[in-house]
Structure 1
Amino acid sequence: MSVILVFLVVVIGFSFWWLFHQRILSKPWLEQGVHSALPETDVSGMPTAKIALGIFLAVIGSLFALFASAYFMRMEYADWQAPPVPRVLWLNTGILVLASVALSCAVRAAREARMDMMRLALAAAGLASLVFLAGQLLAWRDLSAAGHYLEVNPANSFFYLLTGMHGLHILGGLVALGNVLARAWQEDAEPDRLRLGVELCAMYWHFLLFVWLAIFVLLAGWAGDFLAVCRQLLT
């Protein structure tokens, strides 16, 4: 239960940090000056699509936090034998970082109306994400070839579950990214709507990068040290 509380505190803290960063918790009635809000935005001037995505990301974060909590609790049993971490996961981590950086560049280019740079950055992010998924499949193949099948050990099951769930979220994000990239090539695309789409994709990828780094910590075998630190903090 202590580990679950730690992860819930982390998720809630991250959510409040994001809300504060996006000015959702601000009090516009206490601010001076003239304020206006478009119909598609809330009282703080923030697009409702970003608020909806923030709520969705909080749900995803809670889901992975519960998975991680179950991982911590299950690893205490004697039959737990963690599989070796495939070396390709290190490369995959770097590739996902590149995808996140590319989307940050796309956001900046969209705000500066540099369409060619934005298209290039979006395409680079999509390509890097596809390479990341291919690398995850390669990691699965390496584990299977070494005899670390799904049903052999509970630790193997968690490896496939965590990486598979994260890969599905990347795949779902690629659908949205493909839609934004298609609109980026349309001459009559609305600049504001296109910029919002790019920003939403960047938010989603940054969050999935954060989730992947947490998963990688678990799979790399550093979870035991983290659990020990958590116990010391809670005692």
Structure 2
Amino acid sequence: MAQRVLEQMKSLEATRTAGGNGPRAPAGNGGGSGWSREEAAPAATVRVGLWFLLTAVTMLFIAFTVAYAARRTAPDWAPIALPPILWVNTGLLGASSATLEWARRRGRRGDAAGVRGGLTVTTLFGAAFLVGQIAAWRELAAAGVFMATSPHSAFFHLLTAVHGLHLLGGLGALGYALRRTAAPAPAGPVLGGEDLTSAVLGSVAIYWHFLTVLWLYVFFIIWS
């Protein structure tokens, strides 16, 4: 699902690039966005796609929660000892959310360099989180705990895998946002308006914060 939204963003970018007749002038006299107002419609499409994605992911994890709660009451439920590295991973994801929020706020001030730096650090933290999740799986495997070992281990692998796949899509979206902010733009607060670049940056930030909160929820239910 995250990949579909990312592909939609790239399609909109291709349409904008192909449909223009040379560089576009900034809207207004330096106080508005550095991108054309013609991008307002694609920007709205990005936001609609984002909320559709968040709704779908929320419904998916609600279904997982219902199944988890029902299965947990079975007599064969046997909790597994979870790897302590999950706490480190949680800290990494929380830090990535903080750096992305910092980047988004720098964008409101027209600080393109600050945005690129924040996006880069966020991407590194996000990648480190996924590496840590793989390390947690390997630690469980070394202890003889696999997906088929018990219902609890099955849900652990399922929930962390699905969350990890969505976060992998988020890393792709971060890369796309980084590419857009690295593109040449007219002088002025090019990231401060309601243009396509701002919509992409804002949407990626919302999606990433959502995944951070979702992980805290998943971490809570599998640990409790």
- 8 A contact 2:39–2:196 mirrored in 1: no
Counterpart position of 1:204: 207
- 8 A contact 2:116–2:182 mirrored in 1: yes
Q: Equivalences for 1:141-160 in 2 at 5 Å?
A: 141-160=138-157
From 37, 51, 65, give the equivalent of 2:62.
65
- 8 A contact 1:103–1:198 mirrored in 2: no
User: For residues 40 and 49 of structure 2, what CA distance do their matches in structure 1 show?
Assistant: 12
Deviation of 1:198 (Å):
1.0
Amino acid at match of 2:78: Q
User: For residues 39 and 134 of structure 2, what CA distance do their matches in structure 1 show?
Assistant: 44
| Residue 136 in structure 1 maps to residue 133 in structure 2 | yes
Distance 1:39 1:63, change over 3 A: same
TM-score (ref. length: structure 1): 0.73
From 70, 82, 85, give the equivalent of 1:85.
82
Amino acid at match of 1:132: F
User: For residues 88 and 49 of structure 1, what CA distance do their matches in structure 2 show?
Assistant: 35
User: For residues 119 and 48 of structure 2, what CA distance do their matches in structure 1 show?
Assistant: 22
| Residue 182 in structure 1 maps to residue 182 in structure 2 | no
Q: Equivalences for 1:1-235 in 2 at 5 Å?
A: 40-41=40-41, 47-188=44-185, 191=191, 192-221=195-224
Distance 1:40 1:116, change over 3 A: closer
- 8 A contact 2:46–2:200 mirrored in 1: no
How many residues align structurally?
A: 182
User: For residues 181 and 49 of structure 2, what CA distance do their matches in structure 1 show?
Assistant: 23
User: For residues 115 and 40 of structure 1, what CA distance do their matches in structure 2 show?
Assistant: 20
Deviation of 1:40 (Å):
3.9
User: For residues 61 and 159 of structure 1, what CA distance do their matches in structure 2 show?
Assistant: 18
Distance 1:98 1:210, change over 3 A: same
Higher relative contact order (CA 8 A, sep 6+): 2
Amino acid at match of 2:177: V
Deviation of 1:82 (Å):
1.6
The unaligned stretches of length 5 or more in structure 2 are 1-36
Aligned-pair RMSD on alpha carbons? 2.0
